[in-house]
Every structure is written in structure tokens, then in C-alpha cells.
Amino acid sequence: MTGWRTIGVIGGMGPAATADFVQRIAVAAGAARDSDHPRVLVDSNPHVPDRNAARAGNGPSPGPVLAEMARGLTGLGAQILAMPCNAAHGWAGDIVAASGATFVDMIDAAVTEAVATGARTIGIIAIGATLDANLYQHRLDAAGMQVIASDRGIVQPLVTAIKAGDTSSAIRTGMAAEASRLVSAGAGAIIAACTEVPLVLSQADVAVPLVDATSALVRAVMQAAAL
Amino acid sequence: MTGWRTIGVIGGMGPAATADFVQRIAVAAGAARDSDHPRVLVDSNPHVPDRNAARAGNGPSPGPVLAEMARGLTGLGAQILAMPCNAAHGWAGDIVAASGATFVDMIDAAVTEAVATGARTIGIIAIGATLDANLYQHRLDAAGMQVIASDRGIVQPLVTAIKAGDTSSAIRTGMAAEASRLVSAGAGAIIAACTEVPLVLSQADVAVPLVDATSALVRAVMQAAAL
């Protein structure tokens, strides 16, 4: 490897999850000094229209704002684009259409790692906008996997609390309980399919393989960015 | 408060310190939901010319690259600029000259907090490029404070290790020992004047008030960005 392409991050959904993603890229670079890292351009824009509302038909599409962010990052030099928000991938087509940069798809990255676990039934911890768009369902169906979805009435309040900065043990326990419920229901692996989830849930909390979509995206991005 | 101006971050010096800064901005926003956060644009550029080499006359000035980064961030909409790297503030003038955005100076922010501790003698933990440019010395002199500088032969290897991802107990102990030495030499407060330092040193490690320049910059930026 001789260096890195410039990485653009379409972020802010939410800001803490984006900061977590950027921090993980810095670790994943495995660099001994500043100049061995990739250049990373980030647009942490918390004003992207709400994904749940848009999916439910109660608000504007995030697509045009995401496309504008992609154009801005590409204009500054981004060659590889990534978006650390699962639900927003329902509008990934707008990003791909708007920018000539390579878009590394988080759902594809996580599904690839879920298939590699060898499990046949996958539990998905996600918010409504991700589930309603069938982002994971369609790709896991195509791979011949069974899907068990999390309960949005349980997961949404937890994600809302994490977005408000609450990563207390009560929130951690609640998220771990939902993962356990999916395992009891037959899941042989779990996908943390919302970027707020790994802020409170780790492999130690789950009895089966935990595929962290954020980590999967970091790995896929570093592979795509390596020269 | 009705909202936030857009914050631009001139970063990558180093990437982990920039990720730390972005994470702290997300926490400092104290937001209950995504849309209550400021928009943050980040250029984490690890290819800014080496500050130590430039200060020693052994390499190109970082000024033109920093100015170009400032122009790029402002062009994307940044209204408040901040740079989480103390040493690079030796070229802050290039940034101010290049961009119409408000530049929030990290050295000023940290000196203000150091003065507020009431200490008359301030220990500075910094790398050579920061010390040689007298970034803190001149401003603390002007405030009538005494300065005791860290030993660059001790601090530089610790910072180099942190930049390589090493935040082990050996590095933490070494940094705490250098802080203790400054306290023994008469420092009534310590400034962590390199953004890698707070990645391993916290108030619990130091017997006198610790002014974390990164935290001081976060506070000053949030104040400047608030509408």
C-alpha cells in the first residue's frame, strides 16, 4: 500500500455516531505518524430531514440534502464517500447519482459480514426507517437468510436517548435485552443496524456474533481507500 | 439561543486528536436530538507540513496548506473556524488572512482559562514547535504570569507514541510524571498545550488545576457559534 484516497463522510445522523466513525477510521489506519493517515473530510450535518418522518410520508425526503453534501465533499476532494447512518441509506441512490466519487454502502458491508458468520437467521436491531425501507431484508433475502427484526417500540426510545447523550447502564441494559430477545427468537447473529447502537452495545453483551454495521463500514471504507 | 453557526475544523494534526475534538463538540452541544446540534465541517488533513520541522527551518511552512483548508471549509459554509492543534497556531495568521470566517484561537482560549485559575506560575506541556514559537510564553508574559515549559526530550516521544495509537499506562504514567515535575518546579496550574496530551492525561492525574487546551477551545467555539 502506498497511501490513501481521500475519504468523505456524509454525517451528522447523529453527530455522536459520526464522531465515533471518524475516531474508528483514525484507529483503523494503523498509522505510526500523522502523514500515514488518510485525509478525511466530514460534513456532520444534523439538519438532514428526519428519516423516520420521510419514510412514513410525514416529512421531506433527505435525498436532496444528502446529494448536496456529497457534491460538497467531492468538490473538496473526496474520492470515497461513506455515510455512517443505516436509515439514510434508503436515499443512497440520490448520493450515487449526485457524485462521481465511489460510494461505499454500509448495508452491503454489514450484510457481507453477517453472511460470513455462517448464521442462517439474522437479528436486525434498527429503527423504523431502516426496517420499513427493507434495507437489510431485501439483501438478506437475496442471500437466502432469514431475518428477525427488532421491536421498534423498544429500539426507537433507546436510540432517541442515545442521541440525547444518554449512554447510561439503563440504556445499555435495554439494548442488550433486545439483542437477547432476538437470540431467543432464533437469531444466530445480530446486526447492530443503527449507528447509535454500538455506542452502548458490544460483542460482550451478545451471546451470538454481533456484526457492528459501523465497524463493517470502516473496514470496507479502508479497503476502498487504500492505494 | 436559537441555533448555531456552522463550525469548520482545520484538523488532522493528528487525526485522533481531531476525532476527540469533534466528539467533544457533539457532547458540548447538550442537544436532545440531531437537529439541535451545530453543523460541523471537518478537514482532517494529515498532510499538513510538519510543524516541528518548519519551526526548525527544516521543512516547508504549513501556512499555505492551512489557508487552503480554511478556504475550502468556508466555501462549504463554515462561519466559525477552529484548529485543534496548538503548534499549528504559529501559522494562525495565514488562516485569518485567507478566510472571512471567525477564527477562534486555541491559545487565547487556554490562556484565558489559565488566568482564571488564579495561579501565577503556569506549566506548559507542549512540543518544540509550540515552545519555540512562544505561542503561550508571549501571551502569559503579557498577562504577568510566569511560565515553566515541559522538557521536549520527554514530551516529544510521548506525543509521537500517542500519534501512533499508543495510549497505554506507560505513556499515561510518563505524561503524569512530566506534569508532576512542573508542579514540583512551582507550577500552580498546568496547560495541556498539545491536543495529544488530553488523550492520556486528565485532571485526576495532576495535583494542581489542569487547563486542557482542547476543552478550552471547545468551550470558546460553542460560545462563538451560538446564535
Q: Cβ–Cβ of B163/A34 closer than 8 Å?
A: yes
Instruction: Find out if CATH 3.40.50.1860 is the number for domain B7-105+215-225.
Output: yes
Partner-chain contact B165 A30, CB within 8 Å = yes
Query: What are the strands of the beta sheet with B189-192, ordered from one edge?
Result: B146-149, B121-125, B189-192, B210-212
Q: Compare B111 and A100 and report the one with higher pLDDT.
A: B111
**How confident is the model at residue A2, as a pLDDT?**
81
pLDDT of residue B2: 81
Q: Calculate mean pLDDT across residues B188-207.
A: 96
Beta strands A189-192; B7-11: pairing state: unpaired
Spelled out in words, what is the top-level CATH class assigned to the domain B107-213?
A: alpha beta
**Candidates B19, B37, B47; nearest CB to A23:** B19
* Mean pLDDT on A124-151: 96
pLDDT class of A80 with cuts at 50, 70, 90: very high
Delimit the domains of chain B by residue range.
Answer: 7-105+215-225, 107-213
Q: Which chain B residues are closer than 8 Å to A41 by Cβ? A: 42-44
% pLDDT > 70, chain B: 100
Arithmetic mean of pLDDT, B186-213? 97
Instruction: Read off the pLDDT band of B64 (50, 70, 90).
Output: very high
What's the pLDDT at B189?
98
CB contact (8 A) between residue B23 and residue A40 = no
Residue B68 has a pLDDT of: 98
pLDDT of A147 over the 80 cut: yes
Residue B1: is its pLDDT beyond 80? no
Q: Given strand A80-82, what is the order of strands in its sheet?
A: A102-103, A80-82, A7-11, A40-44, B40-44, B7-11, B80-82, B102-103
Same fold, A7-105+215-225 and A107-212: yes
Interface mutation target, options A36, A39, A166, A194, chain B, most CBs of B under 10 Å = A39
Alpha carbon distance A226, A223 (integer Å): 5
Task: Provide the mean pLDDT of chain A.
Answer: 96
How confident is the model over B74-131, as pLDDT tens digits? 999 999 999 999 999 999 999 999 998 999 999 999 999 999 999 999 999 999 999 9
Q: Is the complex ipTM more than 0.85?
A: yes
Which CATH architecture does the domain made up of A107-212 adopt? 3-Layer(aba) Sandwich (3.40)
Positions of A marked catalytic: 85, 194
How large is the average pLDDT for residues B130-145?
Answer: 96
pLDDT at A185 over 90: yes
Candidate list B83, B85, B206, B213, residue with the active-site label: B85
pLDDT at A1 over 90: no
